[in-house]
Amino acid sequence: MERWQNRVAVVTGASSGIGAAIAKDLVMAGLKVVALARRVPRMQLLRDSLPIEKRSQLIIMQCDVTDLNNVDRVFDEIISKLGGIDILVNNAASLKNGLLSTMDIKEVQEVLNTNVLSVVHCTQRAFKSMKDRNFNGHIIIVNSIAGHNVLAGLPQSVPSINIYSPTKFAITAITEMYRQEFHGLGTKIKISSISPGFVDTELLFDELRQAVSHCLLQSSDVSNAVLYMLSTPPHVQIHEMIIKPLGEAV
């Protein structure tokens, strides 16, 4: 991780779960981290949990990644104050309980905006910052096992994952598109997707949590994998990493 010392990493969805774990571990690894989320008090608690000498390395900014203007204002401020973005971790995600055939279309749109469009928008901003400075940065997208297998419903029930799995399938394809584009544009910017199985976070609704409670990853497991991706030498790119809890049936 030596090459990333004092570099700027931006982590979306950093107020809880995987995003909070990644932001904390990146700070502890010597990076300057900009934590983005809507829930500022939760990020303040995260900063307070850091050793005193590390707290100044976690910069908190309120950001709704589904609001294009909000994202642009935040990224403009990051670039203006910190000089640029060296690492982007697209972690923000949304999962709604319901059936795709009957649920409110506004909830479907919210998941699409969070899981797909915000990734594209944030990646565009980070990529431009890296390319303008001729810096070989790294963009990581937190995908899901649901982006490789359409998740079935619980036993003797109708599936309730709805649009979530299709959005993650889109991320799988988008990651490959970025790989081809980044190479075609003559950059050495890395793009990586990490696809965890079920993780013990707030994203899981109660019925699903009860069904898989015996077989869950922790947020720290995903964060450790992200640190491994970043620690690879410049000529190595982990394009896709799938991690599952031992015994997961998906």
- Averaged pLDDT for residues 147-163: 79
Query: In this predicted structure, what is the pLDDT of residue 1?
Result: 81
pLDDT of residue 144: 96
Counting residues of the chain whose pLDDT is more than 90, the rounded percentage is 84
Predicted TM-score of the model (pTM):
0.94
Q: What is the mean pLDDT of the chain?
A: 94
Beta-carbon contacts of residue 122 (< 8 Å; ≥ 6 apart): 10, 12, 65, 71, 75, 88, 90
User: What's the mean pLDDT in 178-183?
Assistant: 98
pLDDT value at residue 102: 95
Residue 19: exposure state from Cβ atoms within 10 A (0-12, 13-18, ≥19): buried
Q: Which CATH superfamily is domain 2-243 in?
A: NAD(P)-binding Rossmann-like Domain (3.40.50.720)
Amino acid sitting at position 20? A
> Residue 66 class from Cβ within 10 Å (0-12 exposed, 13-18 middle, 19+ buried)?
buried
pLDDT digits (tens, 9 = 90+) for 198-248: 998 888 767 667 767 778 999 999 999 999 999 999 999 999 999 999 988
164 tagged catalytic: yes
pLDDT at 119: 98
Q: What confidence category does residue 154 fall into, taking pLDDT thresholds of 50, 70 and 90?
A: low
Rg (CA), the chain: 18
**Considering 164, 178, 182, 198, which one is annotated as catalytic?**
164
CA angle 161, 166, 169 (to 5 degrees): 125
Residue 154 identity (one-letter amino acid): L
All structural domains of the chain with their residue ranges: 2-243
Inform me whether the pLDDT recorded for 159 exceeds 80.
Answer: no
pLDDT (0 to 100) of residue 248: 80
Residues 6+ apart with CB under 8 A from 132: 84
What is the reported pLDDT for 168?
97
Contact between 139 and 226 (Cβ < 8 Å):
no
Which pLDDT value is given to residue 249?
Answer: 73
Taking residues 67-91, what's their average pLDDT?
Answer: 98
pLDDT band at residue 6 using 50, 70 and 90 as cut-offs: very high
Which H or E run contains 60? strand 58-62
Q: What pLDDT does residue 152 have?
A: 66
pLDDT of 24 reads 98
For residue 157, pLDDT beyond 80: no
- Residue 147 identity: G
Per-residue confidence at 135, pLDDT binned at 50, 70, 90? very high
